[in-house]
Amino acid sequence: MASPNRNARSAVVLGRLLGIAFLICFGTGLYSHLLQDPLPGMHFATRPVRLYQFTQGLHITAGIAIIPLLLAKLNTVMPALAQDPPVRGALHLLERLSIAVFVSAAIVQVGTGLVNTFQWYPWPFPFRQVHFALSFVLIGSLAIHIGTKLPIIVRYWRARDSYDADGRFVHDDTVGSELPEYHGTGTYPRGITGRVMRWADGAEPRRASRPSPSGSSGAADGRRERIARRGFFTGVAAATAGVVVLTAGQSSKLAEPFNVFAPRKRGLGPNGLPVNRTARAAGVLATATAADWTLTVAGPAVTRTFSRAELVALGTAEAALPISCVEGWSQMARWKGVRMRDLLAAVQADPGSHVRVTSLERHGGYRIMDMGPEYASDPTTLVALELNGATLDLDHGFPARIIAPGRPGVLQTKWIERIEVLS
Ligand SMILES: Nc1nc2c(c(=O)[nH]1)N[C@H]1C(S)=C(S)[C@@H](COP(=O)(O)O)O[C@H]1N2
Ligand SMILES: [Mo]
């Protein structure tokens, strides 16, 4: 009986799924990156307000699904990795190099990304920049890989061309570098003991299933092969669905009851919302609780300062907006405060301005945040003072924080002290 998964058709089926997952990750990742580092003149959608919750949830979920799919794919093509001779010409070298680059980049990308969702950054380099650069290495080597494998992909794209009437996998020896077929027990070409994978050679019949080594009937052999294949793919599907369902609860309410693996749980934390960095960790305990705290709003001509009591008197606007962290957790919340555009009007600035917000935090990448006019003028963009019906907790940004629609959590600046109109 042939191996259930060590054939070109299985490699193509898994490759398709991986290709989709990598493209989802690339697209949603690019979107997330540009939201945080926009190119000049870029404008972003502010509706639906949960847009980023959706795209980033997709990013993390597809990234997690890649893990079992990649393991299954590596298992499927394992014999080809140990092939002999290792290189059979220039095109083959390119093909093998692109796979080596792709697999190692994928392991680093998915591994560091996964660790990152647990808010753990144990490396000395800036995660986002490295993740961004590596994504182009990944997509580039993936494109080369797909290009060099195109004949096999086309040939085995549809199931009905890959199996004979008995359900046995059918080899096509016209395809040059395809996977060897499982062929009994013995030694790998490179001296690895195990099941022998023989390379298709001219002696084998074209477009015909191999005769059964056990001598059993084709139909019985085909049935066993089908059952084994089904077992393999059911296992892969269960593993993939398992990791997705057991973590998606951090960004989707639907999957919430099954959230076993994801680091953040809904509804836990002050004001019923998880905290990403506490006031203590941010070093703002003293400045955020100081009685003389004020918010400065600097317009092109007029600058005003507001005490918290003055803001509370103005702060009657409400909005339902999620915190959607780049690390994959999201949660909807009810906010109350002063509209950004009303504060801009108070200093005679155009509501369609670029705005820079500064936090009380002295260090780190969250200290300064810029927002474009699409956010500054949006009626749901608030300087928030209340969260879920109570005063904003110190860990959620007291005395005041920013909340805006459709933006990553990193841009929802806490413990703010200054709003500056840029243009
Ligand atoms: N000043 C400041 N603002 C910040 C942060 C921070 O560390 N410092 N963390 C950001 C991140 S990464 C997220 S996800 C949200 C989380 O808000 P929460 O802790 O109120 O849930 O706050 C954002 N605002
Ligand atoms: Mo975050």
**Together in a domain, 410 and 277:** yes
* Domain assignment of residue 260, yes or no: no
**Together in a domain, 275 and 228:** no
**Together in a domain, 301 and 201:** no
Checking if the pLDDT of 422 tops 70, the result is yes
Q: Are 317 and 337 in contact (CB under 8 A)?
A: yes
Q: What is the pLDDT of residue 272?
A: 93
Nearest atom in ligand 1 to 402's CA: 24
Q: What is the pLDDT of residues 221-249, one digit of tens each?
A: 888 888 999 999 999 999 999 999 888 87
The secondary element (H helix, E strand) that includes residue 368 is strand 368-371
Peptide bond into 79 cis (omega under 30): no
Q: What is the pLDDT of residues 23-34, one digit of tens each?
A: 999 999 999 999
**Together in a domain, 216 and 303:** no
Checking if the pLDDT of 411 tops 50, the result is yes
The pLDDT confidence band at residue 2, using thresholds 50, 70 and 90, is: low
**What phi and psi values does residue 415 have, to the nearest 5 degrees?**
50, 55
Checking if the pLDDT of 14 tops 90, the result is yes
Answer yes or no: is the C-beta of 327 below 6 A from any ligand 1 atom: no
**Together in a domain, 282 and 246:** no
Residue 394 lies in domain: 270-421
**Together in a domain, 27 and 141:** yes
The secondary element (H helix, E strand) that includes residue 356 is strand 355-359
Q: Are 69 and 240 in contact (CB under 8 A)?
A: yes
* Domain assignment of residue 28, yes or no: yes
Mean pLDDT of the chain: 87
Q: What is the pLDDT of residues 316-371, one digit of tens each?
A: 999 999 999 999 899 999 999 999 999 999 999 999 999 999 999 998 889 999 99
3-class secondary structure, 343: helix
| Gap between the Cα atoms of 402 and 400, Å rounded | 7
Provide the CATH number for the domain around residue 326.
3.90.420.10
Question: CA–CA distance from 318 to each of 240, 270, 311, 330 (Å)?
Answer: 40, 19, 14, 19
Decide the pairing of beta strands 416-421 and 294-298. parallel
* Domain assignment of residue 307, yes or no: yes
| Gap between the Cα atoms of 145 and 108, Å rounded | 18
| Gap between the Cα atoms of 259 and 73, Å rounded | 27
**Together in a domain, 278 and 232:** no
* Domain assignment of residue 258, yes or no: no
Answer yes or no: is the C-beta of 247 below 6 A from any ligand 1 atom: no
pLDDT (mean) for 240-259:
84
Q: Are 270 and 395 in contact (CB under 8 A)?
A: yes
* Domain assignment of residue 118, yes or no: yes
| Residue ending a domain, choose from 218, 250, 282 | 250
**Together in a domain, 24 and 143:** yes
Q: What is the pLDDT of residue 259?
A: 78
**Together in a domain, 65 and 169:** yes
Answer yes or no: is the C-beta of 384 below 6 A from any ligand 1 atom: no
**Together in a domain, 288 and 158:** no
| Gap between the Cα atoms of 142 and 118, Å rounded | 27
- 54: CB partners within 8 A, 6+ apart: 48
| Residue ending a domain, choose from 216, 250, 284 | 250
pLDDT (mean) for 178-201:
41
**DSSP state, residue 266:** T
**DSSP state, residue 388:** T
| Residue ending a domain, choose from 195, 220, 250 | 250
Which of the ligands is closest to the CA of residue 417?
A: 1
* Domain assignment of residue 224, yes or no: yes
* Domain assignment of residue 255, yes or no: no
* Domain assignment of residue 173, yes or no: yes
**Together in a domain, 281 and 181:** no
Question: CA–CA distance from 263 to each of 60, 116, 409 (Å)?
Answer: 13, 11, 16
Q: What is the pLDDT of residues 108-142, one digit of tens each?
A: 999 999 998 887 778 888 899 999 999 999 999 99
Q: How many domains does the chain have?
A: 2
**Together in a domain, 98 and 239:** yes
Ligand 2 centre and the CA of 238: distance in Å? 30
Nearest atom in ligand 1 to 397's CA: 20
Q: Which residues pair with 305 in a beta bridge?
A: 296
The pLDDT confidence band at residue 182, using thresholds 50, 70 and 90, is: very low
Answer yes or no: is the C-beta of 324 below 6 A from any ligand 1 atom: no
Q: What is the pLDDT of residues 285-317, one digit of tens each?
A: 999 999 999 999 999 999 999 999 999 999 899
